[in-house]
Structure 1
Amino acid sequence: MPSSRFDADRWQARLDELRAAHHVPGATLAVLAGGTIHELASGVLHRGTGVEVTTDSVFQSGSIAKVYTATLVMQLVDSGVLRLDSRVVDVLPGFAVADDEVTKSVTIGRLLSHTSGISGDFTHDTGRGDDCLARYVEACANVGQDCPPETVVSYCSTGYAILGRIVEVVTGQTWDDALRDRLLAPLGLEHSMTLPEEALRFRVAMTHLGELGTDPEPAPAWDMLPRSAGPYGRVLVTAADVVRFARMHLDGGTAPDGTRVLSAESAATMRRRVVDCLDVWSFMADGWGHGWALYDWDGVAGYGHDGAALGQFSYLRVVPESGVVAALLTNGGGATGLFVDLFQELLGELAGVRMPGAFAPAAEPRAVDVAALAGTYEREGVHLTIDERDGVPRLRWQLTGGMAEYSPPIEADLVAVSDTVLAMPGIGPVSAPWLPLVFGALPDGTPYVYLGMRAAPKIA
């Protein structure tokens, strides 16, 4: 039977043990259990300076920022100025992407649920000015499609930058100011912010990079994302503030003092299933709502989100049935292994949840018809080639366009998991030993492959 009692000493020892085992320099953990938020910290913020992590240390949350942006959008739905079926072009005059039909038809709901099909990793530096999102959206005119809209879920950071610009146009504020005034301040999230200069008021976690299984070293730069990435990738937080934010959603949109931040209907809409996920490993989610990733743990429903910011990795899980919320923030190393090992125990004890293990192939790989999967697959910013060498499936993964500076081309042997799933070793700035490549077909029969839950259609 699950227990709401949180044994801080026991979980501190377990956090320390697992953090060290997975070569994670520093981590913070916050857990809502029995109506109380518990906070733990372990390790160092920066291996070069040795500054210790404390519970009020600030980390990069990566894509967990998307849920904050989705909440702002749903506040505007509450106010009546937006609807989920509002067309983006009606809210942002002059908005365009490369596909004219998508330009005319794409809705706010499709952006929220990652079903617009718009190429999702358009990283474009438009400077540090308050006009960065306006200029980003202007540059989207040349952004193509990963897949047709409403066919499959294809994870789309581009869509969340567009949503951030919608927030600006409707509110008359920058996205940063709107987030602070409409969400962070009402919830009393005093250790949450969006800009690096704001984070410098606090103890800040440094990004670390290195090969999995080794102690990573401090990165050359703390953050490589431009300011325009804010709505999809940069809310700077403590673990406890993430839990306080999620608690508002758990409580149907109200703050602890009773302040209505979001309507109960909109809070429910954000976690109502819109689409199923063929790739159930990359985010460990089997579905998506209007902002939240959705989980089914042997019949126990949950929601949450993961985030990555080039070496910093974050994880958030909410179990409504038991009122448990847990957030883990890390600054490098084998963070996925730490998360899985810790949360399997933690959610098992506190919420009765059987969370699945990390993705990995079987010890004895199965044979697969590589010819059926081989070819060239492409989406915005990524070019994938799958072939075979001496009977072993092989991948070449090349970043292109604005993404090219983030990593040189990567080549790796693959391991078959099934006839439609291959496993790639976790190479580069990732936190897991294996990454899934999941193959499927669009409704029109076009083959595609998921990598990181981004759909890349076959082009040759």
Structure 2
Amino acid sequence: MRTLLALMLLACAAPALAEPPAGLAARADAVRQAAGVPGMAIAIVENGRVTLARGFGVRRLGSPARVDADTIFMTGSTGKAMTTAALATLIDAGKLGWNDRVVDRLPGFQMYDPWVTREMTVRDLLVHHSGLGLGAGDLLFVPRGKLSRSEIVRRLRFIRPATSFRSGYAYDNILYIVAGALIEAVSGQRYEDYIRKHVFRPAGMLKSTADPEHRFATANRAYPHGRTGGAVRGLGEQAVLNERDQLGQASAPAGLLAVSANDMAKWLQLQLARGKLPNGGRLFSEAQSAEMWKPVTIEPVDPAPPELEGTQANFELYALGWEVRDYAGAMIVWHAGGVFGFVTSVVLIPEKNVGFMVTINSEDSDVRLGLMYELLDHYLGRPKQDWPARFSAYKRDRLAASASAVQAAAATPARIGPSLPVARYARTYTDTWYGDVKVGTDEQGLTIDFTNTPGMTGRLSHWQYDSFVARFADKGIEPAYMTFALDAEGKVERITMKPVSPTADFSFDYQDLDLRPAAVK
């Protein structure tokens, strides 16, 4: 780790090997069209110069409006680095420190463990080693939410850890919500206002926004698309999704920022210049730039599947809002992002002084990852490979296996149960961090309502034993198993849940729920 950091800090900007690949625009658009992706934008910066910023395709299926370099896209968790940059401006102003204890700066902050509460620093919020499990707490704002940022921070104290503090890596979003609340507490401004005034505006990113009102007031915006008509999400025809049906706004600091190709090019320039602005000023100091790229948490490195041989990393590390890994002997600073209907990759190659972004308005990650690796190979002087085709084959096989698993489970349940008349399962159940889940009954059977998630309602159908399948009215929410555990008297003692699909988004963190019968009021 120390050697890696030394190399990173000593590396000086070197000229890039080449301009963007010859014929890149035609190649990228052909890949987009072959995959059925409605729209895409690419930005490339080389040696401080924008060498490409343009759009491809349409903003919305069925509409002629074209994507251009000013079309804003939702860029998902790539925004974590922008939240971190907002913190860096407060640190440069002397109002905060990376090693400040959160509990000293954010009234009401509390983790499940009192010791962790006392020891958690600002840096700890950003590096995914808190002890929380993968995606813990995401159901408070996924697939949508009505809770405020402060209420989510309050509920954090009820989420049990999966591991000990600082002992391992598990990606989360909820602590970036805490980081947003911290920005608000220290600055006295809403997160959405602070990042606009202190990051976007001085960086010249004038189209970018974290505020849904600003986004919906921008005519030149991309619309979300997804495939939700198949056995699992990702299969079926591409369709327009409801753009106003997004994650809860409280989660903006974790990745609800809208950015255009032109604005992302400015962000790439800023990052490669270590915080220096074109006018000679600074958004953040070189010292803070080094801190944000400094690896903290070791990520587990899984073997690459055969279809993606060649992408295998020797190390993967998490810094402050950025991932750091190796590829072809070079250090890559990057982050992926995804929200419903959009996926993005933002990549920096510091030793080549190159950065680029690929974003699309659908969930077809094979396109943005395939083009990402083609660009990496180009700038690192590697032989050309058809990475989009390889990622497409991997995605196809993975989704097909997932669909087969779902269909096999549906076809072979045990013909046993339920143990109780269905009416006896109906009541309100509660979890300490999520809140109430209501199981009701009507003439058709059992119903389900996640009361803190607007529109997350549906019906329960018996599967086997005392397990039911929750099928939601919103087809974008994949089905989930609900298992009712009975006590010695035959009363429901608790409910556990898990997604039916093996490829369901990890943010449906049903495994963290411990639903118990609510006290009768």
TM-score normalised to the size of structure 2?
A: 0.67
The answer to whether the 8 Å contact 2:292/2:321 transfers is: yes
The answer to whether the 8 Å contact 2:275/2:283 transfers is: yes
Partner of residue 137, structure 1: 153
- In 1: Cα distance, 2:180 partner to 2:32 partner: 34
Secondary structure (helix, strand or coil) at the match of 1:81 reads coil
Residues 385-426 of structure 1: CA deviation (Å, up to 9, x unaligned): xxxxxxxxxxxxxx9896793623369xxxxxxxxxxxx988
The answer to whether the 8 Å contact 1:214/1:333 transfers is: no
Aligned amino acid, residue 115 of structure 2: E
Cα 1:228–1:333, aligned 2, differ >3 Å: closer, same or farther?
Answer: closer
The aligned runs of 1:254-403 (5 Å cut-off) are 254-279=276-301, 286-334=316-364, 336-352=365-381, 358=391, 360=394
- In 2: Cα distance, 1:31 partner to 1:249 partner: 13
- In 1: Cα distance, 2:356 partner to 2:253 partner: 22
- In 1: Cα distance, 2:346 partner to 2:338 partner: 12
Q: How many residues align?
A: 395
1:201 maps onto 2:215 in alignment:
no
1:39 maps onto 2:56 in alignment:
no
- In 2: Cα distance, 1:113 partner to 1:107 partner: 11
The answer to whether the 8 Å contact 1:314/1:327 transfers is: yes
The answer to whether the 8 Å contact 1:324/1:351 transfers is: no
Shift of 1:276: 1.6
Residues 288-335 of structure 1: CA deviation (Å, up to 9, x unaligned): 11221112013200111111111211110000111111111111142x
- In 2: Cα distance, 1:203 partner to 1:310 partner: 19
Secondary structure (helix, strand or coil) at the match of 1:321 reads helix
The answer to whether the 8 Å contact 1:47/1:218 transfers is: yes
Match of 2:39 among 15, 19, 26: 26
Secondary structure (helix, strand or coil) at the match of 2:213 reads helix
Partner of residue 227, structure 2: 210
Partner of residue 174, structure 2: 158
Give 5+ residue unaligned stretches, structure 1: 366-379, 382-398, 412-423, 431-450
Residues 428-455 of structure 1: CA deviation (Å, up to 9, x unaligned): 6x7xxxxxxxxxxxxxxxxxxxx68x9x
Partner of residue 408, structure 2: none
The answer to whether the 8 Å contact 1:14/1:342 transfers is: no
Residues 357-410 of structure 1: CA deviation (Å, up to 9, x unaligned): 7595999x9xxxxxxxxxxxxxx88xxxxxxxxxxxxxxxxx989679362336
Partner of residue 62, structure 2: 48
Shift of 1:33: 2.2
- In 2: Cα distance, 1:128 partner to 1:275 partner: 30
Match of 1:247 among 245, 269, 283: 269
The aligned runs of 1:166-185 (5 Å cut-off) are 166-185=182-201
Secondary structure (helix, strand or coil) at the match of 1:30 reads strand
Aligned-residue Cα RMSD (Å) equals: 3.9
1:108 maps onto 2:178 in alignment:
no
- In 2: Cα distance, 1:40 partner to 1:352 partner: 24
The answer to whether the 8 Å contact 1:29/1:239 transfers is: yes
The answer to whether the 8 Å contact 2:207/2:263 transfers is: yes
Shift of 1:45: 1.0
Deviation larger for 213-222 or 252-261: 213-222
Residues 158-180 of structure 1: CA deviation (Å, up to 9, x unaligned): 00000001111111111011101
Give 5+ residue unaligned stretches, structure 2: 1-14, 229-233, 306-310, 402-432, 435-448, 457-475, 482-499, 515-521
Aligned amino acid, residue 254 of structure 1: K
* Percent pairwise identity: 24
The answer to whether the 8 Å contact 2:101/2:121 transfers is: yes
- In 2: Cα distance, 1:352 partner to 1:117 partner: 40
Partner of residue 237, structure 1: 259
Secondary structure (helix, strand or coil) at the match of 2:203 reads coil
- In 2: Cα distance, 1:168 partner to 1:35 partner: 32
Aligned amino acid, residue 208 of structure 1: H
Shift of 1:250: 1.3
Aligned amino acid, residue 166 of structure 1: L
The answer to whether the 8 Å contact 2:48/2:272 transfers is: no
- In 1: Cα distance, 2:59 partner to 2:105 partner: 42
Match of 2:132 among 118, 121, 127: 118
1:77 maps onto 2:91 in alignment:
yes
The answer to whether the 8 Å contact 1:216/1:333 transfers is: no
Partner of residue 442, structure 1: none
Deviation larger for 178-187 or 46-55: 46-55
The answer to whether the 8 Å contact 1:205/1:331 transfers is: yes
Cα 1:109–1:14, aligned 2, differ >3 Å: closer, same or farther?
Answer: same
The aligned runs of 1:415-454 (5 Å cut-off) are 427=503
- In 1: Cα distance, 2:263 partner to 2:282 partner: 18
Shift of 1:222: 3.9
- In 2: Cα distance, 1:47 partner to 1:362 partner: 23
The answer to whether the 8 Å contact 1:5/1:34 transfers is: no
Aligned amino acid, residue 250 of structure 2: S
Structure with the greater alpha carbon radius of gyration: 2
- In 2: Cα distance, 1:144 partner to 1:73 partner: 27
Partner of residue 391, structure 1: none
Partner of residue 248, structure 2: 226
- In 1: Cα distance, 2:378 partner to 2:321 partner: 27
Cα 1:400–1:149, aligned 2, differ >3 Å: closer, same or farther?
Answer: farther
Secondary structure (helix, strand or coil) at the match of 1:102 reads helix
Residues 215-239 of structure 1: CA deviation (Å, up to 9, x unaligned): 4100134442121011002111102
- In 1: Cα distance, 2:212 partner to 2:292 partner: 29
The answer to whether the 8 Å contact 2:145/2:452 transfers is: no
Shift of 1:247: 2.0
The answer to whether the 8 Å contact 1:19/1:338 transfers is: yes
Secondary structure (helix, strand or coil) at the match of 1:186 reads helix
Aligned amino acid, residue 260 of structure 2: T
